[in-house]
Copies of this chain bind each other. A is one copy, B any other.
Amino acid sequence: MKIKYELISQDKKARRGLLHTNHGTVETPMFMPVGTLANVKMLTPEEIKEVGSGVILSNTYHLWLRPDEDVVAKAGGLHKFMNYDGPILTDSGGFQVFSLAKNKKKDITEEGVHFKSHIDGKSLFLTPELSMEIQNKLDSDIAMSFDECIPYPATYEYTKESTERTLRWAKRGKDSFNNPNQSLFGIVQGGAYPKLRKYSAEKTVEMDFDGYSIGGTSVGEDKKTMYEMVDNAIKYLPEDKPRYLMGVGEPEDLLEGVERGVDMFDCVLPTRLARHANAFTPYGKINLKNAKYKEDFTPISDTCDCYTCKHYTKAYLRHLFVAKEGLGGRLLSIHNIRFLIKMTEDMRNAISEGNFIEYKEQFLEKYKN
């Protein structure tokens, strides 16, 4: 079965909905924790569910290299391999080619991208067809089209050329796609050029995907440009399909994205911050290694309902981080992911109640990053 998006309520452009998948129905707007290598770092599936996750994301590029898609397929697909029965989305590998290729060198041809492995420098060649084949084998619920993530800034000419190639790649991927239980999203590129975003969105929508991602907005634009690009993509996207803003996870960006009609977000931010002792709080981020928490026997946040805040103090977490004990990163990952997911729950309620903007303003008034 393909996924289905069901609109529940709307507050101006902000929308609340349901995403029906083969692994359950989940609510949008949603924040998707990232499980790069078939696990959300340090966490079990039970913990991922306990924090209220809807869909989780896993990375095609990483799983292609380790353990490789055939091992995952022989295990019965990614869900069985990693023991997770909720919905999983896989990206296409396009972003990792851009961000992780050894020395960031890559050779983009019409056929695909030649680059070297970030692990051992081995030559690799990823094409739209191969990305689909890998994702089909991984058997995620939602697969992504293979795209080029355009660097920022880029000239109009380069951006146009790349955007058109990404459209051709999207078509090739869709044509070769071969898993009836898996949905496929198109990705809107177009860099920082409104005209190209429009062009990319319209041409991608013409191909009729199961959902639409907005790509290339998290790689270096200023925030204002990013939000404009989101506006310039979303207005050309159909109402009955989910919209996914890729790689975005700062609280303020979730708010801005939802306000513009985004349904799905993903980011490594909460787990990466956690490994460096940085915690989200309603008053902004704090670093738990700070000496002022040495004897602070209160939770990270009084209002947080996560396992970590219910059971552990800042003093204990600080101790774990100072002593380099891995449990610290684990407990803080739970909190940070829960923080973003709780935000999406609050946003959904605000949308239903028609006061999304009030919620956003109240949140931002407290939250100074």
Interface residue from B66, B75, B312 paired with A323 (Cβ < 8 Å): B66
Pairwise interchain contact A315-B66, C-beta atoms closer than 8 A: no
Q: CB within 8 Å of B: which of A61-90? A: 62, 66-67, 71, 74-76, 81-83
Pairwise interchain contact B319-A71, C-beta atoms closer than 8 A: yes
Which residues of B lie under 8 Å from residue A168 when comparing CB positions? none
Tell me the smallest distance from the CB of A306 to a CB of chain B, in Å: 13
Give CA–CA (A138, B91) in the complex, Å: 49
Chain B CB within 8 A of A290 CB: no
Give CA–CA (A66, B322) in the complex, Å: 8
Which residues of B lie under 8 Å from residue A325 when comparing CB positions? 37, 39, 41
Give CA–CA (A319, B65) in the complex, Å: 11
Interface residue from B42, B66, B67, B313 paired with A327 (Cβ < 8 Å): B42
Chain B CB within 8 A of A211 CB: no
Chain B CB within 8 A of A122 CB: no
Pairwise interchain contact A67-B319, C-beta atoms closer than 8 A: yes
Q: Among the interface residues A81, A311, A323, which one has the most CB atoms of the partner chain B within 10 A?
A: A323
Number of copies: 2
Give CA–CA (A65, B246) in the complex, Å: 44
Chain B CB within 8 A of A297 CB: yes
Which residues of B lie under 8 Å from residue A43 when comparing CB positions? 327
Chain B CB within 8 A of A173 CB: no
Give CA–CA (A44, B323) in the complex, Å: 16
Give CA–CA (A276, B62) in the complex, Å: 22
Which residues of B lie under 8 Å from residue A38 when comparing CB positions? 316, 319
Interface residue from B81, B295, B312, B326 paired with A329 (Cβ < 8 Å): B326
Chain B CB within 8 A of A4 CB: no
Chain B CB within 8 A of A320 CB: yes
Chain B CB within 8 A of A13 CB: no
Give CA–CA (A319, B64) in the complex, Å: 12
Q: CB within 8 Å of B: which of A20-62? A: 37-39, 41-45, 62
Chain B CB within 8 A of A294 CB: yes
Tell me the smallest distance from the CB of A89 to a CB of chain B, in Å: 19
Q: CB within 8 Å of B: which of A292-324? A: 294-295, 297, 311-313, 315-316, 318-320, 322-323
Q: If the complex has contacts A82-B316, A83-B316, A316-B38, are A71 and B323 also in contact, measured as CB distance less than 8 A?
A: no
Binary per-residue interface labels of chain A (321-347) against chain B in the complex, 1 for a CB within 8 Å, 0 otherwise: 011011101110000000000000000
Pairwise interchain contact B42-A315, C-beta atoms closer than 8 A: no
Give CA–CA (A366, B62) in the complex, Å: 39
Add 10 more A-B contacts to A41-B325, A66-B319 (CB < 8 A).
A41-B326, A42-B327, A43-B327, A44-B327, A44-B331, A67-B323, A71-B319, A81-B315, A81-B316, A83-B311
Binding site for B on A (CB under 8 A): 37-39, 41-45, 62, 66-67, 71, 74-76, 81-83, 294-295, 297, 311-313, 315-316, 318-320, 322-323, 325-327, 329-331
26 A-B interface contacts by CB (under 8 A): A37-B323, A37-B325, A38-B319, A41-B325, A41-B327, A42-B326, A42-B330, A44-B327, A44-B331, A45-B311, A66-B319, A66-B322, A67-B294, A67-B319, A67-B323, A71-B295, A71-B315, A75-B316, A76-B297, A81-B313, A81-B316, A81-B319, A83-B311, A83-B312, A83-B316, A330-B330
